[in-house]
């Protein structure tokens, strides 16, 4: 009877959970609508590129949408020479601004991302790129994580799962029959005791 009640809880519990969730969501949604972007799609259409968009001075303003995209793609791959961790796009240091202007010029000339990156690599060395080019010794840096992601699960499987499989007869693991037999023996002993006590009470 009790078991039936508990299992009957499950679907109603889920419904309850969902109702609560819906309620919370609707309350928050109504509240958040006021703050949410909702209406605004105007600047989004011009600027939203998934990545951050900079359209400063005349040059960049003159770039069409594809070239804007290409400019952004390229500039995020170049480091700000004077700061730490930032791309030229994120920095307004004088050096970065120079680089940005060069990138804009070259994008306007119709150069591709690879060509522009090559241009900068030739001048400043691979140091100017925010991630090392995937060639030569640098493959170590790129390969290590991938190798680890592939080899890791294999190693775990080999060293932990496979070796620690339960082996009957080792590490104190006994076969089921032995355990059953032992339990039955104990039960027999208990029965005997019980019968003995009953007999004693009758006397």
Binding other proteins by CB under 8 A: which of 8, 27, 51, 198? 51
Which position has the token pair 């994580």? 145
Binding other proteins by CB under 8 A: which of 4, 40, 66, 122? 40
Rg over alpha carbons for the chain, rounded to the nearest Å, is 35
Closer residue to other proteins, CB minimum distance, 148 or 188: 148
**Residues making up the chain, counted from first to last:** 203
154 binds other proteins (CB under 8 A): no
The DSSP output letter for 137 is: G
- Angle of CA points 142, 147, 151, to nearest 5°: 165
Residues in 162-201 that interact with other proteins by CB under 8 A: 164-166, 171-173
Residues in 57-86 that interact with other proteins by CB under 8 A: 57, 76-77, 79, 83-86
3-state secondary structure of 87: strand
Closer residue to other proteins, CB minimum distance, 177 or 201: 177
Cβ density class 82-111: b for 16+ within 10 Å, e for less? eeeeebbbebeeeebeebbebbbebbeeeb
Binding other proteins by CB under 8 A: which of 19, 98, 109, 131? 131
Closer residue to other proteins, CB minimum distance, 19 or 112: 19
């Amino acid at each position: 009877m009790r078991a039936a009640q508990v299992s009957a809880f499950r679907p109603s519990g889920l419904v309850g959970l969902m109702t609560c969730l819906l309620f919370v969501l609707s309350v928050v949604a109504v509240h958040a609508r006021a703050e949410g972007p909702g209406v605004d799609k105007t600047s989004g259409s011009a600027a939203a590129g998934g990545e951050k968009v900079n359209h400063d001075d005349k040059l960049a303003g003159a770039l069409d949408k594809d070239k804007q995209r290409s400019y952004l793609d390229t500039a995020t791959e170049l480091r700000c020479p004077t700061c730490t961790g930032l791309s030229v796009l994120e920095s307004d240091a004088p050096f970065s601004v120079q680089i940005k202007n060069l990138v804009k010029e070259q994008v306007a000339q119709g150069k591709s991302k690879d060509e522009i990156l090559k241009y900068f690599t030739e001048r400043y060395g691979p140091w100017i790129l925010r991630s090392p080019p995937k060639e030569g010794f640098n493959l170590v840096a790129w390969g290590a994580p991938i190798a680890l992601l592939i080899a890791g699960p294999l190693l775990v499987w080999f060293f932990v799962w496979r070796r620690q499989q339960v082996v009957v007869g080792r590490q104190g693991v006994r076969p089921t029959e032995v355990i059953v037999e032992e339990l039955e023996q104990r039960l027999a002993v208990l029965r005997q005791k019980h019968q003995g006590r009953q007999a004693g009470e009758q006397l």
